[in-house]
């Protein structure tokens, strides 16, 4: 069935739409449907065989899980002697082995971001611009020694930022947060570490003189909270809601030239439209104005000629036309009418269609007279009536043509205006696109194109973070195995990072035997494992295959040569 095509079909009014809305009817229908479905399934579960099978299956599952749990515990007790704390164990602060492991544990030196050192005169304070975007305001007299006395002279302020997940992994910063008995994994919108020392001896901050850090962030969402990493209690401490200040840079970065209207394309389009207009104009019929018959003036001499006047169709239009001799002819002589001329010709006169030259010849005698085509009596009356009709028709056609011409012209002007407006819009869109591209590509430089600024008040040195806590459903991997995907040899990594690409967070397992995996496949995950200076990865596709199959053997690909820098590391992690 071919579809129907409607132009300008009137829409349905809001009142009519409102009349058809009936939520109560919808709910009633839904409930009826659900009841019908339930009744259809009822008999199924009442069967004794089904009930008995369910019980037996349940008992089997419980026994299996208990046995596996006992096996795991035995393995863990021997492994716990030399390994780091596993975040999958219940959080028991008194465990001796946990305290011996550093809380912030960078694994690979090449990807552990270095701090930038700034010199600050404590008596003057300072305004530091880090990478041109983050601003650090140090008030006068902020630094004190262990006894609380103001430091005199220069202090070295050390600062570094962790903009992305690879920075965080590289620095060994834990992203797990326990609160009110629940475990969260943190997604960061910006993190920094700040410290200060005087000649290598750490200093503190005076109580009522915090340092302000105006952190440049590439994330402008407002769902984040501020935290401070408490390395003593080994947890993130909640500081409060984070309210970002959105950067609204409407101007292009200075490195980007503002695109102008593409005149060439605009001209080309305009010419194309004008060409079509001219073509359409040429197709319009051009009516011809009829010739007005002239009446013979009484007393004026005339010549009657026998000719079809094929050369002059305007003469052929009139019946019985005669030629009146114009008064301007000084050489006219009435005796000319008595001569039997051997040759008589008519040619076009000075005013086309109005007068003619009459050529009279006899032997060597030639006479030229300026003559006017005229009509006499009823011939004139008839010609006149016919002329009036033709004139009316001509005027009508002329009017029609003029209207069409006006319409085409108006269409042309409108089209040209639309093309100009489109070109202007296009230029504006290109500016916006360039601005966004520039922002995206220079986010590490954090210049004038940052997305937002996050304001922190630093009262203690350490690591501050703008985070969104995610409660991830995880499950323990039963006896996970790790093998080199190329050599098939077994690997015993020291630390495993399971990266959640959608939520931009990471689950860290410092004890790989207690690996926690995502319970549901609602995101993309990849894995990174570290052993010594060796790095291994399991990419998103491979990990998805393993998780979907319910397997616990993870093929890992070794990054040969390791990673030289953060750029390589990000690429390795598919981030």
Partner 1 sequence: MAINPHFHHSNEQLREELKIIEAAKRDPEHFAPLYNKYYKQIFNYVYQRMESRESAFDVTGQVFLKALTHLGRYEYKGVPFGSWLYRIAHNEVMQLFRSKKERRAINADISDLRFLCEETESPFFEEYIPALKQLILQLSSQDLQMVEMRFFEKRPFREIAEILEITEVNAKVRMYRIIEKLKKSLSKVKV
Per CB under 8 A, 6 contacts partner 1: yes
Please pick, from the candidates 115, 345, 415, 558, the single residue that binds partner 1 as defined by CB under 8 A.
Answer: 415
Burial of 559 (0-12, 13-18, 19+ CB in 10 A): middle
Considering the complex, state which of residue 393 and residue 403 has its C-beta at the smaller distance from partner 1: 403
Minimal distance, residue 521 CB to partner 1, in Å: 11
Residue 9 found at the interface with partner 1 (CB under 8 A): yes
Q: Report how far apart, in Å, the C-alpha atoms of 527 and of each of 15, 508, 517, 557, 562 are.
A: 56, 10, 10, 10, 16
Site for partner 1 in 420-449 (CB under 8 A): 422
Instruction: Show the CA angle centred on residue 573, arms to residues 213 and 527, nearest 5°.
Output: 110
Distances (CA, A) of 486 to 481, 482, 483, 518, 556: 15, 12, 9, 26, 8
- Say whether residue 267 binds partner 1 (CB under 8 A): no
Least separation in angstroms between residue 278's CB and partner 1 is: 12
- Find the DSSP H helices in 237-376: 263-283, 313-316
Q: How far is the CB of 427 from partner 1 (least distance, A)?
A: 16
Burial class, 175, CB count within 10 angstroms (exposed 0-12 / middle 13-18 / buried 19+) = buried
What span, in angstroms and rounded, lies between the C-alpha atoms of 244 and 270? 47
Q: Does 255 bind partner 1 (CB under 8 A)?
A: no
For partner 1, which stretch binds (CB under 8 A), given 104-112, 221-229, 318-326, 491-499? 221-229
Nearer to partner 1 by Cβ, of 167 and 467: the residue is: 467
The answer to whether residue 29 forms part of the interface with partner 1 (CB under 8 A) is yes
Alpha-carbon torsion 146, 151, 155, 161, what sign? positive
> Is residue 326 within 8 Å of 297, Cβ to Cβ?
no
In sequence order, what are the beta bridge partners of 384? none
Output 33 or 53, the one with its CB closest to partner 1.
33
- Are 281 and 405 within 8 A, CB to CB? yes
The whole-angstrom separation of Cα 125 and Cα 135 is 13
Q: Does 410 bind partner 1 (CB under 8 A)?
A: no
Number of residues that bind partner 1 (CB under 8 A): 37
Select the span of 113-121, 217-225, 287-295, 318-326 touching partner 1 (CB under 8 A). Answer: 217-225
Q: Which residues are within 8 A (CB) of 252 and not within 5 positions of it... i.e. 6 or more apart?
A: 258, 431, 434, 435, 438
Instruction: Decide: is 33 part of the binding site for partner 1 (CB under 8 A).
Output: yes
Can you give the length of the chain in residues?
Answer: 575
Residue 510 near residue 480, CB atoms below 8 Å: no
Using CB under 8 A, which of 66, 522, 545, 553 touches partner 1? Answer: 522
> Is 14 a binder of partner 1 (CB under 8 A)?
yes
Question: Pick from 492, 497, 488, 509: which is nearest to 555 by CA?
Answer: 488
Q: Which of 129, 260, 271, 418 binds partner 1 (CB under 8 A)?
A: 418
Q: Judged by CB under 8 A, does residue 559 bind partner 1?
A: no
Nearer to partner 1, 152 or 432 (CB): 432
Residue 45 contacts partner 1 per CB under 8 A: no
Q: Which is nearer to partner 1, 21 or 363 (CB)?
A: 21
* DSSP label of 73: H
Which listed range, 7-15, 369-377, 456-464, 548-556, lies at the site for partner 1 (CB under 8 A)? 7-15
The answer to the question of residue 21 lying near partner 1 (CB under 8 A) is yes
Residue 521, interface with partner 1 (CB under 8 A)? no
- From 38, 131, 140, 272, residue interacting with partner 1 (rule: CB under 8 A): 272
Among 25-33, 143-151, 230-238, 368-376, the segment contacting partner 1 (CB under 8 A): 25-33
Give the interface with partner 1 as residue ranges (CB under 8 A). Answer: 1-9, 11-12, 14, 17, 20-21, 23, 25-27, 29-31, 33-34, 221-223, 269, 272-273, 276, 280, 411, 415, 418, 422, 522
């Amino acid at each position: 069935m071919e579809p129907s095509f409607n132009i300008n079909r009137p829409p349905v009014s809001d009142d009519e739409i409102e009349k058809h809305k009936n939520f109560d009817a919808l709910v009633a229908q839904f409930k009826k449907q659900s009841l019908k479905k339930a009744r259809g399934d009822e008999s199924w579960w009442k069967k004794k065989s089904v009930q008995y099978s369910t019980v037996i299956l349940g008992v089997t599952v419980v026994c299996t899980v208990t046995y596996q749990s006992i096996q795991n515990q035995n393995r863990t007790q021997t492994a716990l002697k030399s390994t780091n704390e596993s975040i999958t164990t219940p959080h028991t602060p008194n465990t001796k082995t946990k305290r011996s492991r550093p809380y912030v544990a960078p694994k690979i030196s090449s990807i552990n971001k270095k701090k930038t050192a700034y010199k600050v005169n404590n008596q003057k304070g300072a305004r530091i611009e880090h990478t041109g975007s983050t601003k650090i305001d140090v008030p006068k007299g902020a630094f004190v020694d262990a006894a609380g006395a103001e430091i005199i002279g220069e202090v070295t302020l050390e600062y570094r930022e962790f903009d992305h997940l690879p920075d965080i992994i590289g620095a060994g910063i834990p992203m797990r947060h326990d609160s009110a008995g629940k475990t969260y994994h943190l997604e960061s919108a910006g993190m920094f570490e700040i410290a200060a020392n005087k000649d290598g001896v750490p200093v503190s901050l005076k109580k009522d003189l915090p340092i302000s850090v105006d952190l440049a962030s590439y994330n402008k969402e407002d769902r984040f909270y501020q935290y401070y990493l408490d390395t003593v209690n080994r947890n993130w401490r909640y500081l409060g809601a984070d309210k970002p200040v959105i950067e609204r840079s409407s101007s292009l970065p200075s490195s980007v030239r503002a695109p102008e209207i593409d005149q060439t394309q605009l001209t080309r389009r305009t010419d194309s439209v004008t060409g079509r207009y001219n073509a359409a104009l040429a197709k319009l019929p051009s009516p011809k104005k009829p010739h007005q018959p002239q009446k013979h003036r009484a007393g004026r001499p005339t010549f009657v000629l026998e000719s079809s006047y094929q050369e002059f169709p305007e003469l052929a239009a009139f019946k019985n036309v005669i030629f009146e001799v114009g008064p301007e002819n000084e050489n006219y002589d009435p005796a000319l009418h008595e001569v039997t001329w051997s040759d008589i010709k008519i040619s076009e006169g000075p005013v086309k269609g109005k007068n003619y030259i009459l050529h009279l010849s006899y032997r060597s005698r030639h006479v030229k007279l300026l003559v006017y085509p005229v009509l006499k009596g009823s011939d004139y009356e008839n010609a006149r009536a016919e002329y009036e009709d033709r004139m009316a028709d001509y005027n009508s056609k002329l009017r029609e043509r003029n209207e069409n011409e006006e319409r085409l012209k108006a269409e042309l002007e409108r089209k040209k205006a639309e093309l100009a407006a489109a070109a202007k819009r296009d230029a504006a869109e290109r500016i916006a696109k360039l601005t966004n591209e520039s922002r995206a590509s220079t986010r590490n430089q954090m210049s004038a194109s940052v997305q937002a600024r996050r304001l922190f008040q630093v009262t203690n040195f350490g690591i501050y973070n703008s985070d969104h806590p995610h409660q991830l459903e995880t499950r323990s991997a039963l006896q996970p195995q790790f093998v080199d995907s190329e050599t098939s040899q077994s690997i015993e990594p020291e630390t495993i990072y399971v990266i959640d690409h959608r939520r931009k967070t990471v689950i860290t397992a410092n004890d790989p035997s207690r690996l926690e995996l995502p319970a549901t496949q609602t995101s993309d995950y990849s894995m990174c494992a570290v052993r010594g200076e060796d790095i291994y990865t399991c990419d998103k596709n491979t990990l998805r295959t393993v998780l979907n199959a319910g397997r616990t053997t993870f093929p890992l690909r070794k990054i040969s040569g390791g990673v030289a820098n953060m750029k390589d590391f990000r690429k390795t992690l598919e981030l």
